[in-house]
Amino acid sequence: MATSSTTQKNGISNKTDISVEDLSKQIELLKSDIAGLTSSVSEYTVAKGTAAKDTAKAKAEELAAAGKDKALEAQLHTEEFIRTQPATALGIAAGVGFLVGMITARR
């Protein structure tokens, strides 16, 4: 049996008997507490990660839908412009085609 002697702040000596079995039990208790804390932190992290993933997914779907709406609106606007001003639209298309051809030909 191990004996430990400690001195308190007031200088009085306090003798306590601590057995190896008691220390082993306390160490095992600490190990189980640490394992429980590790498990809790892991579960919390997984929960927060899942929530962040769900939020990001919902925002991405919202932005994708908004992008599709804007693309459809641009398409409708372009079609209307072509119907109302076909000569101007043809000139713009020819100019853009010429520029793309010049850019790609300069390799």
Report pLDDT for 43: 92
Average pLDDT, consecutive stretches of 10 residues, N- to C-terminus, the chain (107 residues) = 52 64 90 93 93 96 97 96 94 95 85
* Per-residue pLDDT tens digits for 30-49: 999 999 999 999 999 999 99
> 99 by DSSP, 3-state: which?
helix
Spell out the alpha helix ranges (H) of the chain.
20-84, 86-105
Report pLDDT for 1: 47
pTM exceeds cut of 0.85: no
Exposure string over 42-51, b if 16+ CB within 10 A, otherwise e:
eeeeeeeeee
Report pLDDT for 19: 85
Copy the structure tokens of residue 78.
């372009």
